[in-house]
Structures are given as C-alpha cells and as structure tokens.
C-alpha cells in the first residue's frame, strides 16, 4: 500500500483508493465544528441561566458534524452513501433536538447542573465536566459519519441494511418519545407509570432506538475494513445509553419516585423489545383444617 497523489492511499491490488487527505480534513474540521457548537451552548446557557440547553443541542450537533464533513469532502466518496448518511444523521439529530427543546420548555434548570454550579466557583465546571467530555464523545461517535463522506464506492447492498436498522431505531425512538409525551400530557396520568405502547415491551424504547440508529449508521461503512476501524463508535454510544448516562440514571431515579416500578421491571425487558412476562399469581396461604374432635369413650 502506498500514498498516491492528493493524499490518497492506494492499495497495490486496486481494491481501495482511500482519500487520506480528505478524511483528515473532515476529522479536523468536524472537531472544530464541535468546539464551536459547545461554545455556543455555553454562551446560551450562561445568558439564559439554563446550561441544560446542551441536552437539546446534542442531536443537532451531530447534524452539524455531518454537514461540515459533507461540505469539506466534496468531490470524494460514493455519492449515494454520502447523501444517504447525511440525510440519516440530519433527520435523527434535528428530530431529537426539537423533541428535547419542546419537552424542556418552561422547566427550571436541570438539578444535575444546579448541583454542579452549587459545588463550584463559577460556571467553568460545566465546561470541564459536561461540555468537553460531551463534545469529544460527539466527535468520536460520529467517526462512521465522517468516514462515510470519503469512502470510495461502489458501496454495495450493505448500506441498505444499515438504513433498515436505522429506520427501526428511528421508529422506536420517535414513537416512544411521542407516546411518553402524550401520556404525560394527560392530567389523569399524573404520578402513574408509563407501561403502554412500546413501553409495554421495553422500559427504554427511546434508548433502544438510539442504539439502532448508530448501529445502522455504522453498517453503512462496514462493507470495507476501514469502516470496521470505527466499530468502537457505536459501542461507546450503546455503553452510554445502557450503563452510563441513559438507562442506568433513569432507572435509579424511577425506582425511587414511581410506585410499582419494581413490578414493571420484573415484567418488562430492560432494553431489547420482548413480550412482557406474565405476572405470577400470588399464592394464597393453605387453609388450615379444623382440629378433629376426640370422641368420648365414657
């Protein structure tokens, strides 16, 4: 393997002509875009007093990365793959950002950020503990997106498999969010536990959907060995969703604030959608037979 003109890595057998220079440019420009997104989030948070705006910016931040990587790599990659991945990320990111922004409208600052600010001398702690780690995570998770913009084609049928997995994920995430929003909007459900619709089959349809979205995006670049070098990107996202900031935090909060949550956990899958388990009927204690009377022998 040698480095050809215009920074392209050329395989001796002609299998791959990888534009190394374009990929490195996309990586650098995407990282700069992430820094600007995080800086904008901080400015908005400081001016409004709500640093939780970063939660709503999470999804659109990925859309910014996709657009930047697309623009700086013009003339490279497979056109079908480039446009497909761009659309996948933008649709997912803007939907998620819009949903969170609408959900949090009118609510006070998130208690997580209130605690951070109370324990620190100024908002710089938000930068160190939230924005820098979140920005780097955003950039790392988006590596398959940046790679998709420069991979030489033809991509092949596997990109449609990735799209199918992505659409399953988008369905679970969007429908799950919509069902939960409608449930909370009904005053009759105040204090009740959401266990209807998709929430009957998984306790976290939104997180399951999010995982599928990023597995699907990874699959669009998995037809080449270079794509497999980004496998840790969806793995990191799934770990965050299931063990770090998503499912784990939500369940700790729900178990202490929602009566009946233990029963819901017992009958409902924690991540993958599965038929709910049947509740085992409570066994009634055995009836005691009355003591036998002794016959008089007198």
What is the structure's pLDDT at 289? 59
Cα(220)–Cα(160) distance, rounded to whole angstroms? 7
Q: What is the pLDDT of residues 86-99, one digit of tens each?
A: 999 999 999 999 99
Q: What's the domain range around 167? A: 2-108+123-267
* Neighbour-count burial of 101, counting CB atoms closer than 10 A to its CB (0-12 exposed, 13-18 middle, 19+ buried): middle
Cα(92)–Cα(210) distance, rounded to whole angstroms? 9
What is the structure's pLDDT at 30? 97
In a domain, 274, yes or no: no
Question: Residue 19: in which H helix or E strand, if any?
Answer: strand 17-19
Q: Which residue has the tokens 């999470």?
A: 58
How many folded domains does the chain comprise?
A: 1
In a domain, 220, yes or no: yes
Q: What is the pLDDT of residues 140-196, one digit of tens each?
A: 999 999 999 999 988 889 999 999 999 999 999 999 999 999 998 999 988 888 889
In a domain, 87, yes or no: yes
Q: Which residue has the tokens 């909060």?
A: 253
Buried b (16+ CB within 10 A) or exposed e, 102-127: eebeeeebbeebeebbeeeeeeebbb
The SS3 call for residue 224 is: coil
In a domain, 205, yes or no: yes
Contacts of 27 (CB under 8 A, 6+ apart): 146
In a domain, 281, yes or no: no
Question: Residue 2: in which H helix or E strand, if any?
Answer: strand 2-3
Contacts of 80 (CB under 8 A, 6+ apart): 153, 155, 159
In a domain, 117, yes or no: no
Cα(253)–Cα(10) distance, rounded to whole angstroms? 53
* pTM metric for this prediction: 0.85
Q: Which residue has the tokens 């599965």?
A: 274
258 dihedral zone (left: phi>0; alpha: psi -120 to 50; beta): beta
What is the structure's pLDDT at 192? 84
What is the structure's pLDDT at 215? 98
In a domain, 35, yes or no: yes
Ranges of residues in the chain with a pLDDT under 50 are: 1-15, 294, 296-298
7 dihedral zone (left: phi>0; alpha: psi -120 to 50; beta): left
In a domain, 273, yes or no: no
């Amino acid at each position: 393997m040698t480095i050809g003109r215009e920074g392209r890595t050329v395989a001796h057998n002609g299998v791959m002509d990888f534009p190394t220079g374009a990929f490195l440019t996309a990586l650098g420009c995407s990282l700069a875009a992430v820094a600007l997104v995080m800086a904008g989030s901080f400015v908005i948070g400081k001016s409004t007093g709500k640093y939780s705006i970063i939660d709503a910016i999470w999804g659109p931040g990925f859309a910014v990365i996709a657009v930047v990587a697309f623009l700086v790599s013009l003339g490279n990659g497979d056109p079908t793959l480039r446009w497909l991945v761009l659309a996948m990320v933008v649709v997912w990111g803007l939907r998620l950002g819009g949903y969170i922004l609408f959900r949090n409208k009118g609510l006070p600052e998130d208690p997580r950020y209130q605690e951070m600010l109370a324990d620190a001398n100024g908002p710089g702690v938000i930068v160190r503990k939230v924005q820098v780690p979140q920005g780097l995570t955003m950039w790392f998770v988006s590596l398959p997106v940046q790679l998709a913009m420069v991979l030489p084609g033809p991509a092949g049928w596997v990109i449609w498999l990735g799209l199918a997995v992505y659409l399953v994920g988008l369905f679970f995430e969007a429908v799950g969010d919509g069902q939960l929003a409608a449930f909370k909007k009904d005053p009759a459900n105040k204090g009740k536990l959401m266990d209807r619709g998709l929430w009957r089959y998984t306790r976290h349809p939104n997180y399951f959907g999010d995982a599928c979205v990023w597995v699907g995006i990874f699959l669009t670049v998995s037809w080449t060995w270079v794509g497999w070098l980004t496998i840790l990107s969806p793995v990191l996202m799934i770990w965050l969703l299931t063990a770090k900031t998503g499912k784990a935090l939500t369940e700790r909060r729900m178990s202490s604030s929602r009566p009946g949550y233990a029963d819901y956990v017992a009958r409902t899958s924690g991540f993958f959608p599965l038929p709910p388990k049947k509740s085992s009927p409570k066994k009634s204690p055995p009836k005691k037979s009355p003591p036998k009377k002794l016959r008089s022998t007198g």
